[in-house]
Amino acid sequence: MLKPRPGGGATPKEGNTMKNVKAGHAKPIVCLDAGHYGKYNRSPVVPAYYESVMNWALHNYLARELEARGIQVKKTRTTQAKDLELNARGKASAGCDLFISIHSNACDTESVDRPVAIYLVDDNCGAIDEQSRQVAALLAETVREIMQTNDPAKTYSKLASGDRDGDGKKNDDYYGVLYGCHQVGTAGIILEHSFHTNTRAAKWLMQDANLQALAKAEAATIAAWFDLDHAGSEKPAEPAPAPEKAPVKLDPAKSFHKYKAGVYKVQSSDGCLNLRAGAAADKQLIETMANGTKVRCYGYYTDAWLYVVSASGKAGFCHSAYLKKQ
Ligand SMILES: [Zn+2]
């Protein structure tokens, strides 16, 4: 459940409709952590695969995609060859709006093929716990969609068994990078891109084009979570803007709920559904989509209208009565 958090740290700047961004930030800042260094965590089923190599490549692609969307990126590592302590990597996110540690997972059962996202333990001290839970759900679902994993995505948080910070409360994160994030007040997740103990997943992750597709989709999810589509100047520049048409001005979505996020299919008795610039039938028409067309919602909505991105990449509102969740 989304709990309201009094006094949560992330208040958008005046005149700025971005969400989940700390006060004073002109643009969101994301800290990316390549999960391992050197040649580490070799796949037992696809010997050419090393988790560390994938982590490094994907975090670089993701950095590029985030920057293209006007998001500032900080990286925990300056070189792939050198290790950096877990807690220090989490703490490197100080002053950032989001921390993501990039991994693939391993287990004893070869058939396991699912994304896993681990979010901060809820210590009731601010907005970052809920924020990290939201991002975990959204990104795990994005990874599932792009990787087409056999098993559904899983998200969880894990408490340390002891009292790591010695404040008398057993509310510290088990994972070192997340513990570091918590200490410096950054929403953070560990994102496992399925399991490299699974042959299909490991082979998939060895394709460079697949990593680039993942990076694009993850960057889009992150940008939507920051609500950058609504934040005027933060909107990424399109490569070739059509000069004859004024850009569509979208209304901002009023609400967010992670359970609204997902892929939907158009299913209307008219055989089609309109994508509009706002949550009403008289709002500007952006696109008409045939039955069976898929759209993606990142959890944002206004009343009965979902804020979605269409198959052709256009953002807008669709009435939820004509959308069937996949
Ligand atoms: Zn790992």
* Other Cβ atoms closer than 10 A to 78: 8
CA of 104 to the centre of ligand 1 (A): 5
Residue 233: the pLDDT is 45
Judge if 265 and 198 occupy the same domain: no
Point out the domain boundary residue: 211, 229, 247.
Answer: 229
Residue 281 has pLDDT above 90, yes or no: no
Per-residue pLDDT band for 271 (boundaries 50, 70, 90) equals confident
CA of 67 to the centre of ligand 1 (A): 24
Assigned domain for 18 exists = no
CA of 325 to the centre of ligand 1 (A): 32
Assigned domain for 239 exists = no
CA of 321 to the centre of ligand 1 (A): 41
Residue 213 has pLDDT above 90, yes or no: yes
Per-residue pLDDT band for 268 (boundaries 50, 70, 90) equals confident
Residue 246: the pLDDT is 61
Residue 251: the pLDDT is 87
For the chain, what is the mean pLDDT?
89
Residue 115 has pLDDT above 80, yes or no: yes
Assigned domain for 219 exists = yes
* 40-91 tens-digit pLDDT: 999 999 999 999 999 999 999 999 999 999 999 999 999 999 889 999 999 9
Assigned domain for 65 exists = yes
CA of 37 to the centre of ligand 1 (A): 10
Place of tokens 């921390």: 99
Domain count for the chain, please give it: 2
CA of 281 to the centre of ligand 1 (A): 47
CA of 140 to the centre of ligand 1 (A): 15
**What is d(CA 12, CA 150) in angstroms, rounded to the nearest whole number?**
38
Judge if 202 and 313 occupy the same domain: no
* Residues with C-beta atoms within 5 A of ion ligand 1: 35, 103
Q: How many residues are present in the chain?
A: 326
Note down the domain range covering 200: 29-229
Between residues 53 and 242, the one the model is more confident about: 53
Pair type for strands 323-325 and 272-276: unpaired
CA of 270 to the centre of ligand 1 (A): 48
Assigned domain for 234 exists = no
Judge if 219 and 259 occupy the same domain: no
Judge if 223 and 266 occupy the same domain: no
CA of 77 to the centre of ligand 1 (A): 15
Judge if 225 and 264 occupy the same domain: no
Residue 6: the pLDDT is 41
Alpha carbon of 161 to those of 221, 276, 287: distances in Å? Answer: 33, 50, 53
Judge if 36 and 173 occupy the same domain: yes
CA of 196 to the centre of ligand 1 (A): 10
User: What's the predicted TM-score (pTM) here?
Assistant: 0.68
Judge if 104 and 180 occupy the same domain: yes
Judge if 287 and 185 occupy the same domain: no
Judge if 196 and 54 occupy the same domain: yes
Per-residue pLDDT band for 255 (boundaries 50, 70, 90) equals confident
Per-residue pLDDT band for 231 (boundaries 50, 70, 90) equals low
CA of 36 to the centre of ligand 1 (A): 6
* Other Cβ atoms closer than 10 A to 22: 20
Two tokens at 31?
């800290």
Judge if 137 and 278 occupy the same domain: no
Assigned domain for 77 exists = yes
β-bridge partners, 255:
301
Read off the CATH number of the domain in which 143 is found.
3.40.630.40
Per-residue pLDDT band for 313 (boundaries 50, 70, 90) equals confident
Residue 302 has pLDDT above 70, yes or no: yes
Assigned domain for 6 exists = no
Lowest pLDDT segment from 43-57, 147-161, 248-262: 248-262
Residue 12 has pLDDT above 70, yes or no: no
Read off the CATH number of the domain in which 271 is found.
2.30.30.40
Judge if 272 and 219 occupy the same domain: no
Assigned domain for 21 exists = no
CA of 296 to the centre of ligand 1 (A): 28
Residue 35 has pLDDT above 70, yes or no: yes
